[in-house]
Amino acid sequence: MRILVVEDDVNLSRQLSEALKDAGYVVDQAFDGEEGHYLGDTEPYDAIILDIGLPEMDGITVLEKWRADGKGMPVLLLTARDRWSDKVAGIDAGADDYVAKPFHVEEVLARIRALIRRAAGHASADIICGPVRLDTKGSKASVNGEALKLTSHEYRLLSYLMHHMGEVVSRTELVEHMYDQDFDRDSNTIEVFVGRLRKKIGVDMIETVRGLGYRMQAPANGK
């Protein structure tokens, strides 16, 4: 899962980015509204954390431009605690949720998890596909109750496929959501990670859809 943090406070941006990375996300950063708008307009993100008080272009304007252009990714606003009018303006502009400063990073992580789950149609913190359980809160997975030992890339791949289970996901889409903006992306590595994941899961659940990509779904017998 790939997140964009648009925050001009360098220390706060670093704090959020490190916490998100520790939780298994890929993170891009922007430090002003124009850069943030450009990245959100040109790159695919599973969610965006957007500060309202940004230089160059304020967060409300950035959000309004995204929504006017048909961008539907979940957006979590960072607002000042005493500015209730900013919260109202943000929701009206198309924000999905907000957190008032100062905040606990754990709250931001919880809200981001919830936004991503809901955008994919999942209500629970645990996403279940046959014998595989993805614990989005703990950033871990298990098969029939046995913990899976996954690398960060394997976890990201499994997480994305399970959030979108039943859907055909292209290699390009997986690459875009598994690597950050500056990573030297190579779609061929996806095949390697899929192969490793299949072996670790031990159940035939990741289908190769020739010419299109991959689809994860529960086995026909449900086991």
Last residue of a domain, one of 61, 92, 119: 119
Q: Is residue 71 part of a domain?
A: yes
Q: What is the pLDDT of residue 78?
A: 94
Q: What gap in Å lies between CA 93 and CA 96, rounded to an integer? A: 9
What tens digit of pLDDT does each residue of 16-62 get? 999 999 999 999 999 999 999 999 999 999 999 999 999 999 999 99
Asked whether the predicted pLDDT for residue 103 surpasses 70, the reply is yes
Q: Are residues 94 and 186 in the same domain?
A: no
The pTM (predicted TM-score) of the whole model is: 0.86
Quote the domain boundaries for residue 40.
2-119
Q: Are residues 24 and 69 in the same domain?
A: yes
Q: Give strand pairing partners of 80.
A: 101
User: Comparing C-alpha atoms, which of 89, 12, 15, 103 is closest to residue 58?
Assistant: 89
> How much of the chain exceeds pLDDT 90, in percent?
76
CATH classification at residue 161: 1.10.10.10
What tens digit of pLDDT does each residue of 173-201 get? 998 888 876 666 665 788 889 999 999 99
